Amino acid sequence: SQKIEQNSEALNIQEGKTATLTCNYTNYSPAYLQWYRQDPGRGPVFLLLIRENEKEKRKERLKVTFDTTLKQSLFHITASQPADSATYLCAPPPYSGAGSYQLTFGKGTKLSVIP
């Protein structure tokens, strides 16, 4: 079955370093992947969407890559700050088998940036 996995449940890094989060997919080829940020007690907020024909996309200190050979998307935060501490979620397109439009998420990676 189609599967999205975020390898790390938690990641701790030092302030100023680059954080790299991983999203792997198996048994299908998504046309795009999305990344969201969720702060405690709040709903997720959309950050970036990268399509399969885009190798890289950037937004300020954020960078996302999409490697269809490795079946993987990497999410980078450069010059990380304590304010970047949050849970980051990866989401594929809705599964459209048999007219279904389920939109599901990976379990997320909780990033802690240590001052």
Partner 1 sequence: NAGVTQTPKFRVLKTGQSMTLLCAQDMNHEYMYWYRQDPGMGLRLIHYSVGEGTTAKGEVPDGYNVSRLKKQNFLLGLESAAPSQTSVYFCASTQRANVLTFGAGSRLTVL
The single-letter code of the amino acid at 92 is P
Looking only at residues 96 through 115 of this chain, which bind partner 1 when binding is defined by CB under 8 A? 100-108
CA dist., res. 111 & res. 2, Å (int): 26
Residues 6+ apart with CB under 8 A from 40: none
What is the closest distance, in whole angstroms, from the C-beta atom of residue 85 to partner 1 in the complex? 17
Contact 106, 91 (CB under 8 A): yes
Binding mask 13-42 for partner 1 (x = CB under 8 A): -------------------x-x-x----xx
48-107: contacts with partner 1 (CB under 8 A): 49, 89, 91, 93-94, 100-107
Contact criterion met (CB below 8 Å) for 27 and 3: yes
Nearest residue (CB) to partner 1, 69 versus 96: 96
- With beta carbons less than 8 A apart as the criterion, state whether 25 and 92 touch: yes
Q: Which residues bind partner 1 (CB under 8 A)?
A: 32, 34, 36, 41-46, 49, 89, 91, 93-94, 100-108
